[in-house]
Amino acid sequence: MALCSYQSYHCIRKITAIVIGMIVLLMASTASANRVTLVATVNNQIILSHASWSIFKLSDKELQEPIATLPRLTGTVHLPAGQYRATVKQKHITKQTEFRVESNTDRTVTVALD
């Protein structure tokens, strides 16, 4: 397996992250057709190390639980039209941004970690 070219622990973590991300994307894609691409950058370049995303719907009163999570540096989610907050974490850095999703529109959300 090319995916598992290093220690088995890291291989299991990577496969688990991929499977969880695919399940989240599958669940989110059934809700709507509005594609949102999430990108984290440093010095205007897409980061190449591990990061994780959490997406919160701002109309929710409690905002405690994310409606979507992505355990990787970039990804795509399908969200219904509305106002959202994206939070990205990498090592000790946490950044967030608010964004709006319009009906039948693709959107790219970029968060600078520097």
Domain holding 102: CATH number? Answer: 2.60.40.10
Question: Mean per-residue pLDDT for 4-14?
Answer: 61
Is 66 among the domain residues?
yes
pLDDT in tens, 30-75: 444 689 999 988 888 888 778 889 999 988 666 578 888 888 777 8
Total domains in the chain come to: 1
Is 2 among the domain residues?
no
Radius of gyration of the chain, Cα coordinates, nearest whole angstrom: 15
Please state, rounded to an integer, the average pLDDT across all residues of the chain. Answer: 78
Cα 29 from Cα 48, distance rounded (Å): 25
Cα 22 from Cα 48, distance rounded (Å): 19
Is 94 among the domain residues?
yes
